[in-house]
Amino acid sequence: MKKARAEGYRCRAAYKLLALEQRYGFLKGARVIIDLGAAPGGWSQVLAQNRSSPLGENLLLIAVDSRPLSPIEGITFVQGMFEDEGTQRYLASLLQGRAVDVVLSDMAPNTIGRRQIDHLQSLALAEEAYAFARQYLVSGGHFVTKIFQGGAEKSLFEDLRQNFQNVSFAKPQASRTESCERYLVAMTFRKALPL
Question: Does 137 fall in a domain?
Answer: yes
Please, are residues 104 and 79 in contact by the beta-carbon 8 Å criterion? no
4-49 pLDDT, tens digit per residue, is: 665 667 788 899 999 999 999 999 989 999 999 999 999 999 999 8
Residue 12 has what pLDDT?
Answer: 84
> Can you give the CATH number for the domain in which 28 is found?
3.40.50.150
| CA–CA distance, 76 with 63 (Å, rounded to integer) | 6
Residue 5 has what pLDDT?
Answer: 62
Please, are residues 33 and 45 in contact by the beta-carbon 8 Å criterion? no
Range of 148's domain? 2-189
Question: Does 29 fall in a domain?
Answer: yes
Question: Does 165 fall in a domain?
Answer: yes
Question: Does 46 fall in a domain?
Answer: yes
Residue 193 has what pLDDT?
Answer: 59
Question: Does 194 fall in a domain?
Answer: no
| CA–CA distance, 35 with 139 (Å, rounded to integer) | 19
Question: Does 195 fall in a domain?
Answer: no
Residue 2 has what pLDDT?
Answer: 60
Residue 49 has what pLDDT?
Answer: 85
Q: Is 97 exposed, middle or buried (0-12, 13-18, 19+ CB in 10 A)?
A: exposed
Residue 10 has what pLDDT?
Answer: 79
- The pTM assigned to this predicted structure is 0.91
> Can you state the percent helix, strand and coil of the chain, rounding each to 5?
40, 25, 35
Residues marked active site are found at 146
Residue numbers in the chain where pLDDT is lower than 70: 1-8, 51-57, 111-112, 193-195
Residue 19 has what pLDDT?
Answer: 95
- The CA dihedral of 151, 20, 145, 157, to the nearest 10 degrees, is -40
Question: Does 69 fall in a domain?
Answer: yes
Question: Does 61 fall in a domain?
Answer: yes
| Structural domains counted in the chain | 1
